[in-house]
Chain A
Amino acid sequence: MPVLEARGVRKVYRGDGVETEALRGVDLAVERGEFTALVGPSGSGKSTLLHLLAGLDVPTEGEVFLDGVRVDRLSRAARARLRLEKVGLVFQAYNLLPVLTALENAAFVLELRGVPRREREEKALAALAALGLKDKAHRYPRQLSGGEQQRVAVARALAAEPLVVLADEPTANLDSRSGLALVERMKALNRELGVTFLLATHDPRLLEHVGRIVRMEDGRVVGEERL
């Protein structure tokens, strides 16, 4: 059974009397342990698909499954609960809570789950260490570089031991070296821990590190290749 699945998904945004069809019948299945990249130009629907798969939004038509649960039929609160339990999210920017240290940010999802302090800090510190940030655990986001902030966001996603990590343009705001380093670390974690990754990106430099590439254009999946 796929960890993530979209069946005939359409998403139409309506606003100011204008309809925009962001997804036009997408079918996609991601198996456990895969490291997949959604690629395509801006406006191809990558982020929208990622948001629907994460339960951040619901499709206009079609079905979305996360670990066998039909996400699009869940209430807002139930989707939030599902994200909390099973999904690690990394965004392009504004990933961290500015008033929390790197360690507290990395432990935040665990805190929401009610994990005891000592346990969650141990897990968060281990995740930060895996991403080379152990010595910066007590720094606030403003004291970290853009690349370090993204790594803290990945550490937060991983510390919670999610079923799947969904990352939306995680390297878009990073220089090439930092971006590459981040993806290499994510790939290593995928290999070592078996965490499923699905990245939305239009950065071609990252593609040699992924196991599968799904190409999107104009709200459709137009191609797929396994590496």
Chain B
Amino acid sequence: MLRLAWRNLLRTPGRSLTTGGVVALVTFLSVVLLSFYAGAMDAFFGLLLERTGHLVVRVEGYREKQALEDLAFSPPDLSLPQGARVEGVLEGAALAIAGERSRPVALTGLSREGFSRQRNLLKAGRLPEASGEALLGEALARALRVGLGDEVVAYAPGGEGIGVFAFRVVGLVDLPESHLEARTLLVPLEDAQTLLAPGRVTRLEVRLPGVGLYEEAPLLALKASLQEDLVPRGLVVKTWLEANPGYAAILPLYRVVMGVYVGFFFLLAGLILLNALYLSLVERVREFGLLSALGLSGRGVMALVFWESLLLVGVFALLGLGVGLFAHLEMADGFRMPLPQWILEQYREFGLPEVLYGRLGLSDLLLVLGYALGVGVLAALWPAWLASRLEPVEAMRYVP
């Protein structure tokens, strides 16, 4: 039966090649799409992880609290695995004054490592290297009419700090959202603490080398052990995904959306396959009549049509998969997106890399092969049923 199905496919090579070509193309595109989007997701979430840290320690209920004295805390000693790095961050409100101009700003005190992560946002100048140096959002610098080398005074009275601190502008940063850029003042952590809250931070970021992007188990285990000490002190620990719930919600949705995309591609391929199988049935009505007359059961006739469909889909899906895997391997080594410069600039502003690294999991391959198999079966269902219902005598008299 398999041999008969195979030879039936070969008798109309043009049609088989065209139909199979569509299946191969859809399979190829699906593999490339899945690899590309996984790479893009990795880049996005990689950036998010880099900015957030694997674990974040904050004051409990920080989302509802506004005042710095409610949000700042003295960093406790954390019992962390070897190699783990902890960075403190202090965020607070201040007034930035330059000459006769002033603007309210969100002042952020960063460690040296924290500054190094701002490098790709740097539009002009350099990163701060010493006390009294600051980075300004480009829009803020424009509003204050200051440039590199100018002095900006941060004024934040009424707190535990000295309430006023003069900074030299050493760099300007370009942020994707201009309203943020107009309020951004980044200074060394120690300076921020002197100004706002000596010895205190509003957030601790814990970074764990060797933990994969989507590895949650080690984070949850460490979180659980840290919580024991921190909760009594009014602090909470969150994983980077918990700290960014809006983005975390994308992850499961992403898989569904990609599944729907790929399914849509295969739906189109299925319609073309159905058309080819139906044409083949119409052309071979007498042959199906003969098979039935010779004693092939209705089930046998259906099996023949299914085999033809599955062989066609199977061979060409494997071909598309092979070429798609080859393309994926190329993308996995780094893939520079062929996009216009102005789009790439937008990418850069968001901190996203121009080079993506394709990623493809076994589940992606199984998804594509599952769709191919499903399409092969579903497209054959109707023609196979029609073929099995043919009356042998009438079918053998049929004139196409």
Chain A residues with Cβ below 8 Å from B296 are 80, 84, 112
Given A99-B7, A112-B296: A56 in contact with B290 (beta carbons within 8 A): no
Among residues of B, the one whose C-beta sits closest to the C-beta of A83 is: B295
Given A80-B292, A94-B286, A95-B290: A51 in contact with B297 (beta carbons within 8 A): no
Q: Which stretch (B232-240, B329-337, B391-399) binds chain A? A: B391-399
State the majority secondary structure of interface residues on A: helix
Chain A residues with Cβ below 8 Å from B11 are 98-99
* Count of A-B contacts judged by CB separation below 8 Å: 58
Q: Does B287 contact A (CB under 8 A)?
A: yes
Q: Does A109 contact B (CB under 8 A)?
A: yes
Q: Does A65 contact B (CB under 8 A)?
A: no
Q: Does A108 contact B (CB under 8 A)?
A: yes
Interface string of A96-113 (1 = CB under 8 A from B): 011110001000110010
Within 8 A of A (CB), among B204-247: none
Within 8 A of A (CB), among B255-308: 286-287, 290-300
Among residues of B, the one whose C-beta sits closest to the C-beta of A92 is: B396
Q: List 15 A-B contacts (CB under 8 A).
A: A56-B392, A57-B393, A77-B298, A80-B295, A80-B297, A80-B298, A83-B293, A84-B295, A89-B293, A91-B290, A91-B293, A98-B287, A100-B7, A104-B3, A112-B294
Give me the 8 closest cross-chain CB pairs, A-B, nearest first: A84-B295, A99-B7, A83-B295, A80-B297, A56-B392, A56-B393, A77-B297, A51-B393
Q: Does A76 contact B (CB under 8 A)?
A: yes
CA–CA, A156 to B290, complex, Å? 13
Chain A residues with Cβ below 8 Å from B392 are 56
Interface string of A108-132 (1 = CB under 8 A from B): 1100100000000000000000000
State the majority secondary structure of interface residues on B: helix
CA–CA, A81 to B297, complex, Å? 7
Q: Does A21 contact B (CB under 8 A)?
A: no
The number of chain B residues with a CB under 8 A from chain A is 23
Among residues of B, the one whose C-beta sits closest to the C-beta of A84 is: B295
CA–CA, A81 to B300, complex, Å? 11
Binding site for B on A (CB under 8 A): 51, 54, 56-57, 76-77, 80-81, 83-85, 87, 89, 91, 94-95, 97-100, 104, 108-109, 112, 156
CB–CB A89/B297 < 8 A: no
CB–CB B298/A108 < 8 A: no
CA–CA, A100 to B3, complex, Å? 9
CA–CA, A74 to B392, complex, Å? 16
Q: Does B8 contact A (CB under 8 A)?
A: yes
Q: Does B249 contact A (CB under 8 A)?
A: no
Chain B residues with Cβ below 8 Å from A56 are 293, 392-393
Chain A residues with Cβ below 8 Å from B286 are 94
Distance to closest chain B CB from A154 (angstroms): 13
Among residues of B, the one whose C-beta sits closest to the C-beta of A85 is: B295
Chain B residues with Cβ below 8 Å from A112 are 294-296, 300
CA–CA, A54 to B300, complex, Å? 19
Counting chain B CB atoms within 10 Å of each CB, the highest count among A77, A80, A108 belongs to A80
CA–CA, A56 to B290, complex, Å? 11
Q: Does B4 contact A (CB under 8 A)?
A: yes
Distance to closest chain A CB from B286 (angstroms): 5
Chain B residues with Cβ below 8 Å from A87 are 295
CA–CA, A56 to B393, complex, Å? 6
Given A51-B393, A57-B393, A91-B396: A97 in contact with B295 (beta carbons within 8 A): no
